[in-house]
Amino acid sequence: MSLSPLDLLNITFRSLGKNPLRSALTALGVFMGVAAVSATLQVGNISRAVIGQQLAKRGAPQASIYPEWDSGGRTTPLKLEDMEFLQKRLVGLRAISAFNWAGSLPTIFQDKELTPPMSPVSQGFLLTSGKALVSGRFFSAEDFASYRPVVVIDKLLAEQLFGGHKPLGQMIYAGDRPYVVVGVVATSLDENAPPSGQLYVPMSVYNALTGSRDIGSIQMRPYKLQDVENLSNQAEELLKQRFPSQKFKSWNNVSDILEQQKTLEMASQGLAVVGVIALLVGGVGIANIMIASVAERTAEIGLRRAIGATQQEIMLQFILEATLLSLIGGTVGLGVVHGLTIVVTNTFNLPYEFDGSIARLALGSALVVGVGASLTPALRASQIDPVKALRSE
């Protein structure tokens, strides 16, 4: 006589209910494994989100290289052709630009005067820095070629200098020279210093005014965050070959974030090992419980076989018991971790969003371990001889 799925499920629940303490302890093992796996993945997601927030404040990951002054105060300044030299040879380079520092200059619009810093830049600066264009445009090739006196300012300076006026197309005076505002970019945020206004002018205009062809430093942006240090090393080696007697220094804006990533990876690996061990322990617990259950219920199994239960139904019942225990323990584990994560992230103001893929992975792992651990005991139960089982009662 074949059992319907509902009857089989009912028998499974009743079997588990006969020994609630043992069932609860078995589910607890699965709970701990799923909680460990879920917590590991959540820690990784939250840490990556925090790193993403830090990167958003700092702009794109970038490295900067510049000549070092020697003991006699001498140096070999970089020029645009040196930037082009690197651009053709660097591996993993997404963008490159030149950057200089012109100091803080008195900047006037109508009756307002401020002293923001001015930075001459080359055409690729916007992509290299990762700055977002709020309005207007950035410098064009024609601006550089024609030495147009144009300027791009950041949003903070636009608010401070122009107030309710629209900055685009307005003429300002910086260092007693007129410039036309053609664009506004987002203001850079620095955790260690308050934001300040910023002026950007074409490198060609600044060099024409000063009579110098120096570019100060070269900024490089990699395709991948992890490649920023490698890009610095490549640039330093290439420039040493080009200028054997000159020493160079490099700097990047994500060195501390890279260290955080390394620490995160090590911690995640350690937590992952703990999670896997916890799941395996839960699987061992399920296997032990199933083996004990088969031994205790030999007579019951023989009776069910005698009245028509098939080997497949006996085997399926024990697998279903393990599946239910894994499902209950795993679901409770996910719920507890989710609740604790919400409390922690709200307390420390951390970014968090429930990730369904993490829940599926953790719960799926628990089900695989639970079903896998029950296969051998279930197979053993299905192969019990009903005659011998009834005689042993």
Helix H or strand E segment including 199 = strand 199-202
Around Cβ 341, how many Cβ atoms within 10 Å? 19
What residue segments make up the domains of the chain, in order of their start?
5-55+259-391, 59-254
- Give the rounded percent of residues in the chain with a pLDDT score beyond 70: 95
pLDDT tens, 227-285? 999 999 999 999 999 999 899 999 988 887 778 777 877 877 777 788 788 778 878 88
- Give the model's pLDDT for residue 15: 79
DSSP 27-76: HHHHHHHHHHHHHHHHHHHHHHHHHHHHHHHH-S--EEEEEPP-TTS---
For residue 196, pLDDT over 80 is answered with: no
pLDDT tens, 14-72? 877 888 888 888 888 888 888 888 888 888 888 888 877 777 777 788 999 999 887 66
93, with CB counted inside 10 A (0-12, 13-18, 19+), is buried
- Cβ–Cβ under 8 Å, residues 183 and 194: no
- Give the model's pLDDT for residue 90: 95
| Amino acid identity at 13 | F
DSSP 89-144: H-TTEEEEEEE----B--EEETTEEE--BEEEE-TTHHHHHTPPEEEE----HHHH
Which two structure tokens, joined as six digits, stand for 116? Answer: 């923001």
Which two structure tokens, joined as six digits, stand for 77? Answer: 């300044």
pLDDT tens, 167-191? 999 999 999 999 999 999 998 776 5
In the three-class reduction of DSSP (H, G, I as helix; E, B as strand; rest coil), residue 80 is classed as: helix
Around Cβ 234, how many Cβ atoms within 10 Å? 21
- Give the model's pLDDT for residue 41: 83
In the three-class reduction of DSSP (H, G, I as helix; E, B as strand; rest coil), residue 169 is classed as: coil
Which two structure tokens, joined as six digits, stand for 118? Answer: 């001015």
Helix H or strand E segment including 151 = strand 150-154
Q: What are the counts of helices (DSSP H) followed by strands (DSSP E) for the chain? A: 13, 12
On whether the pTM is more than 0.75, the answer is no
